[in-house]
Chains A and B, each alone.
Chain A
């Protein structure tokens, strides 16, 4: 009796959550596209016959990361691809766990807004071992091991430019 009850409750709950999930391909809001769009466009243009499955991990629920994601999603869905969208709470264990889960799910590529370069080093190793290309967005990943690609700014250089231009104004 107890078993049946729990089973039913659990099943109902799961079906409810599945029903509540918006279909992966419906986010089409236009956001202020940062320069990342340009860098990510080449990645999106793969004239493959099968629709790709992309695992996208964002370190935190940040509007900046979300904006980048939505542009990527719009482009990817144009190609008929499916994206698994995972958001963390700003901790490294979550990033590592998310990437591990993507690998088991068998995604075709991973895009990651990282928590820290050390956590990412771990992720790159695992992705490479599984033969899955891994890209990083926004935050600079480590250079050893090397990721498949990166879309973002050289923040240190950008800071230098900003400092120089500010000093010229003074």
Chain B
């Protein structure tokens, strides 16, 4: 009896597994790009190995998505809980500016500056989270206001000028596999520490969401806050804690961003909130809350990061990249809604 149930479960894995759809989109996308590259290089005269899937490019993609990815993981937690945070972009800029000031201007030393930066992110998110958890204020509006406020604070602190650094954070982007060469095109392969940190965060947050009481409570609140309260969940404090953890992740991401860019400037985190939300949504996190998981977000992160990269690889102008990003977001999100109706269309066509 149990064996029968298990085999049924295996057969329906694809149909029932939450991440089947985003994974399929990612795989199809990759295959399409590879084929297009083969065709295009063939037209140019010599069929070359598609650069999109060379090890150096795959590592490039990882490097490019690490920071938005960390923010997207935090954003996933917030969205699953039924909230949202539009302020992450400007918060990241603010934290990078604070950290850069700490290192270059206030001379606090590298480690203290990093701690100050990350701590400020946690504190600011907790302030916002406190109001959201204790009142009926809409998170959308609250974090929209926060976004503008953070921008103002950042500009005040740096006097609307960029804060230059001298490479003090270079240790965060040192090449851990120095000397490794890509077998296809002979370029240097790089895995900096921030990629490792990104992957570690993915695994840690995945574990928390899947295995811990905290994680289960987040899903419950996102699905039905009333029922969660009556089932003994401390809704207010759980919400606050989620915003705090989210703030921690944004802070870490901002410091890593600063390492990659080496200058604290207001545009560092610009538009990151849009990317973070898009990555979460493509990965299957429902905006209404209570659904989705971190592996799905990872797929969304890789997919969104791949799009601009792929457009470059295909030598297409960047205007096309925007269109492609938008179309893929729409396709990925509506695929799960469209497929039952399209299945019916095909089955009724078969019946007539």
CB nearest to B15 among chain A residues: A2
In the assembly, what is the distance between CA of A2 and CA of B20, in Å? 10
Residues A2 and B335 in contact in the complex (CB < 8 Å), given A91-B268, A91-B271? yes
Residues of B within 8 A of A10 (CB): 25, 28-29, 32, 328, 331
A52 CB → nearest B CB, Å: 13
Residue picked from A5, A90, A121, A129, most chain B C-beta under 10 Å: A5
B333 CB → nearest A CB, Å: 12
Residues A17 and B262 in contact in the complex (CB < 8 Å), given A105-B315, A118-B165? no
Interface pair A90/B185, CB less than 8 Å apart: no
CB nearest to B336 among chain A residues: A2
Interface pair B315/A93, CB less than 8 Å apart: no
Residues A104 and B342 in contact in the complex (CB < 8 Å), given A17-B316, A86-B317? no
Residues of B within 8 A of A104 (CB): 51, 54, 56-57, 60, 185, 187, 313
Interface pair B267/A90, CB less than 8 Å apart: yes
Residues A11 and B270 in contact in the complex (CB < 8 Å), given A87-B318, A100-B60? no
A91 CB → nearest B CB, Å: 5
B223 CB → nearest A CB, Å: 25
Residues of B within 8 A of A98 (CB): 312
Interface pair B308/A97, CB less than 8 Å apart: yes
In the assembly, what is the distance between CA of A100 and CA of B210, in Å? 35
Interface pair A100/B64, CB less than 8 Å apart: yes
B177 CB → nearest A CB, Å: 14
Residues of B within 8 A of A3 (CB): 24, 28
Interface of A is mostly: helix
CB nearest to B331 among chain A residues: A9
Interface pair A93/B187, CB less than 8 Å apart: no
- What bracket does the count of chain B residues touching chain A fall in? 35 or more
Residues of A within 8 A of B51 (CB): 104-106
| Interface flags, B21-51, vs A, CB<8A=1, else 0 | 1001100110111001000000000000001
Interface pair B32/A92, CB less than 8 Å apart: no
Contact residues, A95-141 vs B (CB, 8 A): 96-98, 100-106, 115-116, 118-119, 121-122, 129-130
Partner of A93 from the list B162, B185, B268 (CB cut-off 8 Å) is B268
Selecting from B130-138, B194-202, B229-237, B319-327, the interface stretch reads B319-327
Residue picked from A17, A87, A129, most chain B C-beta under 10 Å: A17
Residues A92 and B60 in contact in the complex (CB < 8 Å), given A86-B312, A102-B312, A116-B162? no
A134 CB → nearest B CB, Å: 15
In the assembly, what is the distance between CA of A170 and CA of B95, in Å? 46
Residues of A within 8 A of B316 (CB): 17-18, 21
In the assembly, what is the distance between CA of A1 and CA of B344, in Å? 11
A132 CB → nearest B CB, Å: 10
In the assembly, what is the distance between CA of A127 and CA of B273, in Å? 30
The answer to whether the Cβ of B291 comes within 8 Å of any Cβ in the partner chain is: no
CB nearest to A1 among chain B residues: B343
CB nearest to A102 among chain B residues: B312
Residues A2 and B64 in contact in the complex (CB < 8 Å), given A18-B316, A119-B263? no
A6 CB → nearest B CB, Å: 5
In the assembly, what is the distance between CA of A142 and CA of B119, in Å? 33
Residues A84 and B312 in contact in the complex (CB < 8 Å), given A14-B36, A93-B64, A116-B162? yes
Residues of A within 8 A of B114 (CB): none
Interface pair B324/A2, CB less than 8 Å apart: no
Residues of B within 8 A of A96 (CB): 260-261
In the assembly, what is the distance between CA of A7 and CA of B30, in Å? 10
Residues of B within 8 A of A89 (CB): 270-271
Interface pair B31/A7, CB less than 8 Å apart: yes
Residues of B within 8 A of A9 (CB): 331
Interface pair A130/B187, CB less than 8 Å apart: yes
Interface pair A2/B339, CB less than 8 Å apart: yes
Partner of A13 from the list B24, B54, B331 (CB cut-off 8 Å) is B331
| Interface flags, A19-40, vs B, CB<8A=1, else 0 | 0110010000000000000000
In the assembly, what is the distance between CA of A82 and CA of B317, in Å? 12
Residues of A within 8 A of B28 (CB): 3, 6-7, 10-11
Residues of B within 8 A of A88 (CB): 318
7 closest pairs, A vs B, by CB? A101-B312, A118-B263, A118-B262, A92-B261, A7-B28, A104-B57, A10-B28
- Apart from A93-B257, A104-B185, 16 more pairs, CB < 8 Å: A1-B339, A10-B328, A14-B36, A17-B320, A17-B323, A20-B320, A92-B263, A97-B60, A101-B60, A101-B313, A104-B51, A104-B56, A104-B187, A104-B313, A116-B263, A118-B164
- Using a CB–CB distance below 8 Å, which chain A residues touch chain B? 1-3, 5-7, 9-11, 13-14, 17-18, 20-21, 24, 82, 84-93, 96-98, 100-106, 115-116, 118-119, 121-122, 129-130
